[in-house]
Structure 1
Amino acid sequence: MTEQQTQPRRGVYLLPNLLTTAGLFSGFYAVIASMNNQFESAAIAIFIAMIFDALDGRVARVTNTQSAFGAEYDSMADMVSFGIAPALVSYNWALAGLGKPGWLAAFVFTAAAALRLARFNTTVGTADKRYFQGLASPAAAAIVAGMVWLGADYDIEGQTFAIFAGLITVISGLLMVSNFKYSSFKEVDWKGKVPFIMILAMVLVFIVVATEPALVLFMIFCGYAISGPIMTFRSEKDIRLEHIVGEADDHHVEPGEEKKKSD
């Protein structure tokens, strides 16, 4: 065996990284489109980035092309598409007229997305796969993008609802760095069989989304954002500050239990 044959083959996997690049391009395009007052195109581009983000990881697992480079590249692309792009699109649409509070609101969203991604990357091996800790950055981006898309679709001037847009942007950012539990839907068996009626229901969902995509998508992701606090308050009998924000203590021991475990 020659020395050339024993050396590992260098390079990166094409297909998953190509999808990640497509998502990155969509996020970058959203920023450019918003700078040219093409807010509907900007919002749609963020939703397209979400599709590519959902595909790249699954394609990498199916084709066995996962790599450390791909994971880091995906995280960087997510920061652009779901951290910077939604904040700037919201700022260009409505927040610019607020002055300093406007760009501070956009920065809160961007910083929260960065913190959310950093926390996810450092806990991916130990976190409960059934739940996300805090609102996922693509979902938060979808709320902001859906708001802008809805405004553009109904010819609403962003400056008129600047305060409302700022609140939505800030709240979406804060939910990302919260400790609220959100379903990851990873427990769903996508390969299993379902009743035929489920296929008809899926067709109905696509029809409803197609009739008013901006309104329906905005409502869906707002509903998902609200589900986190509801799920957390229903599952935790004794709500503490760490259940909402701060360092989550997943190994909390109730009074009296520590002695039982040590006996």
Structure 2
Amino acid sequence: MATPGVRLLPNALTVLAMCAGLSAAQFTLNRQYDAAIAAIAIAAVLDSLDGRIARLLDATSKMGAELDSLADAISFGVAPALMLYIWRFGGDRVGWVFALIFAVCMVLRLARFNTLLEDTQQPPYTKEFFVGVPAPAGGLLVLLPLILTNEYGDHGHWWQSKTAVMVWMVAIAALAISRIPTLSVKTVKVSPRAVAPLLVLTGLLAAAVITYPLLTLAVVLIAYLLHIPYAVRRKHWLANHPEAWDVPARERRAIRRAHGSQQGRLGVRPPLRRVAGAARRAVLRPMRNADWPRFSLPNDPRPPGARGRAWRRTGIRKNQRPGESKPR
């Protein structure tokens, strides 16, 4: 059981994440959009750390879960909606409606997430996926038009129009409340061989963030969107293969390869080639056993009686020549 001081640490990180989200709105009011985007990114990092630290320190509590949901609603629902409204829809009532739609959808997504945590009847493989786009990813994805504008300037690009921003807000809100699976990194286990390459990639990512922060964030967000079809396919495969639910990653890959090779053996082309080869051998075998001089086998070790059995099996008389009709 964790001490009160240790239990305070995850909740303190959650409060810091909420303060970062509120600060993003304040930076937006001052037209400091780079600082606002950085505040939302910091809130996302803190949100990913508080839950992990709480589980490592055995300091999870119901109060912490409720506080985390409240902080996510502010940092990734209310704050991004206000940022986009002030940036592109200042004073526009239609734009305020779209800002409300996004904020409400993010709150509904968080409410559903809390109810799914209490559901213990789900299959084991569901722990590897989120239902819909999680709140931190949604809060950053919806800011992609603002991120690209700060990177490339406000020069009338298509993603800077009000219509494009409205459509984008609705699309991200729909992904947040949808049932589309997205990968969860909470259950990812890193093998010892992959530690060194991952550390190198982490260093490269840190260098890219320091050198080109907005461009790197935009590339990461686009890559996250592109992973969704893979997540859908992976969950569909796991749902149809219960034998791979509770096995390590290496055994799961072996099961996938085994099923892939089995499907290849059951395909169309390989059986046709085997059937064609069998038919060719069935035709040539009687021809080799015939008494015709051009098809006779001089060193045939079989006895004379066995040489004519192939003719009887195929229903052709031994002495019948090509082109001759069967005697009546």
TM-score (norm 2): 0.63
Partner of 1:59: 53
Deviation for aligned residue 1:229:
4.4
Partner of 2:189: 189
Is the 1:46–1:145 Cα contact (8 Å) retained in structure 2?
A: no
Counterpart amino acid of 1:139? A
Deviation for aligned residue 1:131:
0.4
Deviation for aligned residue 1:111:
0.9
TM-score (norm 1): 0.77
From the superposition, tell whether residues 206 and 12 of structure 1 become closer, same or farther in structure 2 (CA, over 3 Å): closer
Deviation for aligned residue 1:223:
2.6
Note if 1:94 corresponds to 2:74.
Answer: no
Distance 2:216 2:85 in 1: 23
Distance 1:234 1:101 in 2: 39
- Give the secondary structure class of the aligned counterpart of 2:154: coil
Partner of 2:148: 150
Alignment size in residue pairs: 228
- Give the secondary structure class of the aligned counterpart of 1:194: helix
Counterpart amino acid of 1:105? F
Partner of 1:35: 29
Distance 2:118 2:223 in 1: 28
Partner of 2:103: 110
Deviation for aligned residue 1:165:
1.9
Note if 1:82 corresponds to 2:76.
Answer: yes
Q: Which structure carries more relative contact order (alpha carbon 8 Å, separation 6+)?
A: 1
Partner of 2:256: none
Superimposed CA distance per residue, residues 91-111 of structure 1 (whole angstroms, 9 cap, x where no aligned partner): 1111336x2321111111101
Q: Which shifted more, 85-94 or 188-197?
A: 188-197
From the superposition, tell whether residues 147 and 210 of structure 1 become closer, same or farther in structure 2 (CA, over 3 Å): farther
Partner of 2:165: 165
Deviation for aligned residue 1:201:
2.7
Distance 1:234 1:58 in 2: 25
- Give the secondary structure class of the aligned counterpart of 1:96: coil
Distance 1:62 1:235 in 2: 27
Is the 2:149–2:160 Cα contact (8 Å) retained in structure 1?
A: no
Distance 1:221 1:198 in 2: 19
Identical amino acids, percent of aligned pairs: 34
Distance 1:21 1:139 in 2: 19
Q: CA RMSD in A?
A: 2.7
Deviation for aligned residue 1:230:
5.1
Note if 1:123 corresponds to 2:116.
Answer: yes
Deviation for aligned residue 1:157:
6.8
Counterpart amino acid of 1:118? A
Is the 1:43–1:146 Cα contact (8 Å) retained in structure 2?
A: no
Counterpart amino acid of 2:50? D
In structure 2, list runs of 5 or more residues that go unmatched: 238-328
Distance 2:5 2:52 in 1: 20
Distance 1:171 1:96 in 2: 21
From the superposition, tell whether residues 10 and 204 of structure 1 become closer, same or farther in structure 2 (CA, over 3 Å): closer
Distance 1:12 1:195 in 2: 29
Partner of 2:14: 20
